[in-house]
Structure formats: structure tokens, C-alpha cells
Amino acid sequence: MRFHLRHSQRFAQRLASWIGSAVLLLAPALSPDTASASGLLDLADLISHPEQYDRQEVVVSGEVTNVQLATNRQGQPAYGFLLKDHAGTVKVIGLGQVEVREGDQVIVEGIFTRLRQAGRTIIYNEIKALSIKSLNRLNPDLVG
């Protein structure tokens, strides 16, 4: 019984997330205030106030650039890319296969970190992706 309950809860969470994304896709003329109310965060807000969103789940959109594929220490596929819009750029990383290409418009849901140390390198404004939805493939007519 527990398995079915947990599975149902996960399904409900994913369905709610998908419905939220579908609302954004079906209403491309949303004002910024309406988009913020639906959970989509402007990159400008994220970049301007990184301490406010540090280690929080965020949902942002932008254009994919500089896609890099790699393999982590455990031999799993991994990826990284830059997500940019008019306000700036954040780095997106994740495990698994990524189905995005240079220039794709995407919605990224993930955990934001304002800074992290990797050896001697400090990485600023990074999102560890939980999900990536390509707007180009969902409905190319909705992408401006």
C-alpha cells in the first residue's frame, strides 16, 4: 500500500508541474506579474538577488547555449549548458541524457545555488536541473 501511495504522490506532483508548464505554454502573452504568480521566475530576479533563492527550487526559462556533454566519476552521462535571456546567464547542470540543442528555448526546474566550490574553482549562479522542458519541441508556434 505504501508504494502505491508514494507513487500516486509523485505522479500528482509531476502532473501539477506539467499543468503549470502547460499554462505557461498556452498563454504566451502573460504579463510578467502573471508569469511570476504561476511560479516562473525571471532570470533578472535570480541574478539580482541570488541570496534570496540560494538552495531553493526555482523555475526559469531562457535560451540554451554552450551545451557540454560529459561523464561523471561513476560513469553516468552528465551535461551542462548556459541558460540566457536579456538579463544574463546562469549555468545549468544535470545527470542523464539531455534532449536540448543550441538555441532551444527551455523551461528549467531545479535547485539554485548562488555559489559552490569545486576544487579551487568557485562556480556562481548554478541550477542543478530536476527537469527541462523544451518549448521548441512542445509547440514551435509559441516560441517568439
Tens of pLDDT, residue by residue over 46-71, are 999 999 999 999 999 999 999 999 99
**Residue 129 lies inside a defined structural domain of this protein:** yes
Of residues 74 and 5, more confidence is placed in 74
**Residue 54 lies inside a defined structural domain of this protein:** yes
Structural domains of the chain, count: 1
Q: Tell me the CATH number at 111.
A: 2.40.50.140
pLDDT at 40: 93
**Consecutive H or E run containing 138:** helix 135-138
Per DSSP, the three-state class of 104 is coil
In DSSP notation, 62-75 reads: EEEEEEEEEE-TTS
Structure confidence by residue, pLDDT tens digits, 104-124: 999 999 999 999 998 999 999
The distance in angstroms from the start CA to the end CA of the chain is 46
**Residue 22 lies inside a defined structural domain of this protein:** no
Q: Pick the range with the lowest mean pLDDT from 11-15, 56-60, 138-142.
A: 11-15
**Residue 8 lies inside a defined structural domain of this protein:** no
Whether residue 22 is predicted with pLDDT greater than 90 in this model: the reply is no
Tell me the torsion sign for CA atoms 94, 134, 125, 82: positive
**Residue 48 lies inside a defined structural domain of this protein:** yes
**Residue 9 lies inside a defined structural domain of this protein:** no
Where would I find the beta strands (DSSP E) of the chain? 56-71, 77-85, 88-95, 105-118, 121-134
Whether residue 96 is predicted with pLDDT greater than 80 in this model: the reply is yes
Q: Are the C-beta atoms of 63 and 105 separated by less than 8 Å?
A: yes
Domain that residue 51 falls in: 40-142
- 118 beta partners: 121
For the residues 25-39, what does the mean pLDDT come to?
43
**Residue 15 lies inside a defined structural domain of this protein:** no
pTM: 0.69
Q: Are the C-beta atoms of 78 and 70 separated by less than 8 Å?
A: yes
**Residue 133 lies inside a defined structural domain of this protein:** yes
